[in-house]
Amino acid sequence: MDYFYGPGRNHLFVPGPVNIPEQVIRAMNRNNEDYRSPAVPALTKTLLEDVKKIFKTISGTPFIIPTTGTGAWESALTNTLSPGDRIVSFLIGQFSLLWIDQQQRLNFNVDVIESDWGQGANLEVLASKLAADTAHSIKAICIVHNETATGVTNNLAAVRKLLDHYQHPALFLVDGVSSICALDFRMDEWGVDVALTGSQKALSMPTGMGIVCASPKALEASQTAKSVRVFFDWKDYLKFYKMGTYWPYTPSIQLLYGLRTALDLIFEEGLDNVIARHSRLAKATRLAVEAWGLKNCTQKEEWYSDTVTAVLVPPYIDSSEIVRRGWKRYNLSLGLGLNKVAGKVFRIGHLGNLNELQLLSCLAGVEMVLKDVGYPVKLGSGVGAACAYLQDTTPMIPSRI
């Protein structure tokens, strides 16, 4: 795909990285400073307290790590588990597949529960494994909350219910990279032991910051876990927390200031309002897809994601051509179909600091692209369906009433 300059702004609607608000960009537009000075520890202390709010935890301990979601995965695993430990992990799409690959390469004994791509985690199989595991050989359950490859969201409360029903002590590890700050997430209430997210998703920041939150049970497990870790070792962080300097190595100063502003924006809107906004925009997108006569890759409504919609295309259309054409002709960035759904789906990301009119511009662009590739879409059909819904459901901005 050859690069060329396109006038105007790129319309970024992949499921991460997402658009960065101007306020966050301005907050990061600053020089380096000494992270051992009083200013950075003071900033870090407030950040550690405030990130707990987006996980909805009081008892959790957060770690802000200069890494990606992949690094956060590794931090969650290596701090709580030992090589050879049996873990149950759900395979439902590309990102759960990648996490499983990491688990296997870290020498864990991975018991994979696989579902068709477009389905959620098979909790019936999990129930049978927990019931049979009277010796408690399963040390952890690993699940991707929101699988962006297929637009599937898993029911975490149901997983916790199963663990409690069978009185199973396995750790509950959750990838919340594309869900935390966008979907309902309740770390304490759902008994999640390790949760993690990445800065480039719903926080609407650049890539480069992984945030991991560990329960007291996970911290206890970290005391005896034998996996090798250095850069991701929680013990180093905890040591510097006690010292009041917070950083075992040099942090990204600019990203810390960006995080401060990103959190301020979320709290100003209200986290529950942010979650409701994502739900509203997702519903509008699904109505547009239905109006186009296309289908959602996600096979049941209970699994619909509120951060990304994976759209199935007819067999005579290559979905990668939709993505290519959108970018090359309209400066519109959509998500490719990955792995098993490559060429079969394109993905519309609707997460982060995003409003109704931005989404409508994306849907209009998708309609033009569909027309370009020979799909008989009625121009305005999806936009109209989304408009009608959003007209009825979009609230006034409180500060402007």
Binding-site residues for substrate sit at 347
Cα 25 from Cα 19, distance rounded (Å): 10
Q: Can you list the pairs that 311-320 forms with residues at least 24 positions away whose Cβ atoms lie under 8 Å?
A: 311/345, 311/346, 311/347, 311/348, 312/344, 312/345, 313/344, 313/345, 313/346, 313/375, 314/375, 316/374, 317/373, 317/374, 317/375, 318/343, 319/343, 319/344, 319/345, 319/346, 320/346
Q: Are 126 and 114 in contact (CB under 8 A)?
A: no
Cα 298 from Cα 307, distance rounded (Å): 13
Map tokens 């239905």 to a residue.
290
Query: What single-letter DSSP state applies at residue 304?
Result: B
- The SS3 assignment for 191 reads coil
Q: Are 185 and 176 in contact (CB under 8 A)?
A: yes
Token digits for 219?
């911290």
Q: Please name every residue paired with 90 in a beta bridge, in sequence order, or none if there are none.
A: 113
Write out the binding residues.
347
Task: Measure CA of the first residue to CA of the last residue in the chain; give whole Å.
Answer: 46
- 64 C-beta neighbours (distance < 10 Å), count: 22
Q: Is 391 exposed, middle or buried (0-12, 13-18, 19+ CB in 10 A)?
A: exposed
Cα 114 from Cα 244, distance rounded (Å): 44
